[in-house]
Amino acid sequence: MKRIIKITLLISILSIITGLISFSSCKKDIDRNIAIVKAKIGNYEIASVKYENGELELDESDFPATIPDNYLGHVFDTQAKTGTVQVGAYNSAGECIGEFFKYNRDGHDNWQLRWYAWYIYADRSFTKKGESFDCSFKKGWNVIYISEIEGKYTTQKPSDKDFIWYYRELKPD
């Protein structure tokens, strides 16, 4: 069961990463026609912020204190329920035109060398240790850091890494 959960989590992360070729830093001055940025868990909107001057400022202080139970799911083989935040870019017509990811690539263009940071809400405190996990979640908002190359998951921010928001435009069907 633990292996299935780990593989499912890894597949979810890898499915997001497969389209990262078109990533660009939010600091670049590129007109993306972004009217608003929404943070969601599933289809539950937890925050919306303006995207101005090519920069995105969003962190857990923008999120509500609690998330309704029906938007959370069991992960990590515990009684705790969690929800992972996804950040979408929307145009003035309300269409999702892109996604934002927070990551550090250490100056490498190779996506496999990146560390990612994901916001996760937990309905209670719990730990997940062993194999590639070194995570201690508190009740409320947490950040999990994921190393692609090491296959490592931790809630301790790597001291030598800086994380910034990057944008990926969604391709039309």
pLDDT digits (tens, 9 = 90+) for 35-81: 999 999 999 999 999 888 888 889 889 999 999 999 999 877 678 99
Give Cβ neighbours of residue 33 (< 8 Å, ≥ 6 apart).
91, 92, 97
- The tokens of 52 are what? 């101005």
**Mind listing the pLDDT tens digit for each residue in 92-129?**
999 999 999 888 866 656 555 678 899 999 999 999 99
In the structure, how many helices (H) and strands (E) does the chain have?
Answer: 1, 13
- The tokens of 120 are what? 């996760």
Say what the pTM is: 0.77
- The residue extents of the domains of the chain are 2-169
- Adjacent-strand bridge partners of 27: none
**Mind listing the pLDDT tens digit for each residue in 5-16?**
443 444 344 333
Q: How far is 139 from 132, CA to CA, in rounded Å?
A: 22
Q: How far is 47 from 31, CA to CA, in rounded Å?
A: 22
User: Cβ(56)–Cβ(49) under 8 Å?
Assistant: yes
